[in-house]
Amino acid sequence: MTEQLEQLEEMPDDWQRALAVVAHPDDLEYGCAAAIAGWTDAGREVTYLLASRGEAGIDGIEPAKCGPLREQEQRASAAVVGVSAVEFLDHKDGVIEYGTDLRRDIAAAIRRHRPELVITLNHRDTWGGVIWNTPDHRAVGRATLDAAGDAGNRWIFPELIEQGLQPWNGVRWVAVAGSDSPTHAVDATAGLERSVDSLMEHRSYIEGLTDEEPETYCRTFLTANAERASARFGDRPAVAFEVFPR
Ligand SMILES: [Zn+2]
């Protein structure tokens, strides 16, 4: 029981640039965006890097049409929380492979953007030991944790040096959202309403997913998510992260 009451620490805030790396459009909107809104309000720069365009994410829309639609929705969704830089790596949705290609692509982005904080999504097998996680989330989360180190070592991926991407060993933390074992949290009060608007921008995905009214669906999910962390964060609505310092 004592474990349940253990409080989460405040996320570090002595940083200026963050890079958020996830597999799909909408991965950051299911929880993280409230934290991101607060960070951009404070003048910090946040860049989104998506391994795929989520083209296999909607049963009723074929990938060739779905990819561009989801890219557009992701850009709109990012803009709501103050993020204008959104990049796509074009790995194939649903079959993203963990490996050196993915690590190299993420390391290249880390070298380009030089973040102090890297954000990613749950890289473990399950969500809370109950729901099996997707292969894309596992692959991208693990590759992101690894690429934070790769980015700083000039002898790993020397071809990046040839492209003018010098090592960046300045990543101080990798923060994993949606972890079963969070260590830190960010107050979500100021960003919560915008996180609802941000998730709602994924309209075609949400309409394909649920018959519920989109705003009700988004608000219910995100409020519950923020309240789940609050018991361990002084009763404040929060976004929780498992932070790996480097
Ligand atoms: Zn996803």
Hey, what are 240's tokens? 């929780």
CA of 30 to the centre of ligand 1 (A): 9
Distance from the CA of 166 to the center of ligand 1, in angstroms?
30
Which residues have their alpha-adjacent CB atom under 5 A from ion ligand 1? Answer: 23-24, 27
Cβ 99 vs Cβ 107: under 8 Å: no
Question: What is the per-residue pLDDT across 201-227, written as a single tens digit (0 to 9) for each?
Answer: 999 999 988 999 999 999 999 999 999
pLDDT in tens, 17-59: 999 999 999 999 999 999 999 999 999 999 999 999 999 999 9
Residue 28 CA, ligand 1 centroid: distance in Å: 9
Dig out the tokens for 100 from the structure: 């050196």
Determine the distance separating the centroid of ligand 1 and the alpha carbon of 127, expressed in angstroms. 12
Burial state string for 27-36 with b = 16 or more CB within 10 A and e = fewer than 16: bbbbbbbbbb
Q: How far apart are CA 243 and CA 73, in angstroms?
A: 29
pTM, entire model: 0.96
Q: Where are the alpha helices (DSSP H) in the chain?
A: 2-5, 33-41, 63-80, 100-113, 135-150, 158-162, 192-200, 203-209, 214-230
| Residue 97 in tokens | 């492979």
Q: Which CATH architecture has domain 2-245?
A: 3-Layer(aba) Sandwich (3.40)
- The single-letter code of the amino acid at 178 is G
pLDDT digits (tens, 9 = 90+) for 133-175: 999 999 999 999 999 999 999 999 999 999 999 999 999 999 9
Give the Å distance between the CA of 140 and the centre of ligand 1: 10
What separation in Å is there between the alpha carbon of 138 and the centre of ligand 1? 10
| Ligand 1 geometric centre to CA of 192 (Å) | 20
The tens digit of pLDDT for each residue in 99-144 reads 999 999 999 999 999 999 999 999 999 999 999 999 999 999 999 9
Sheet holding 173-177, edge to edge: 9-10, 184-187, 238-245, 173-177, 117-121, 17-22, 45-50, 85-88
Q: 177: left (phi > 0), else alpha (psi -120 to 50), else beta?
A: beta
In the chain, where the domains are located = 2-245
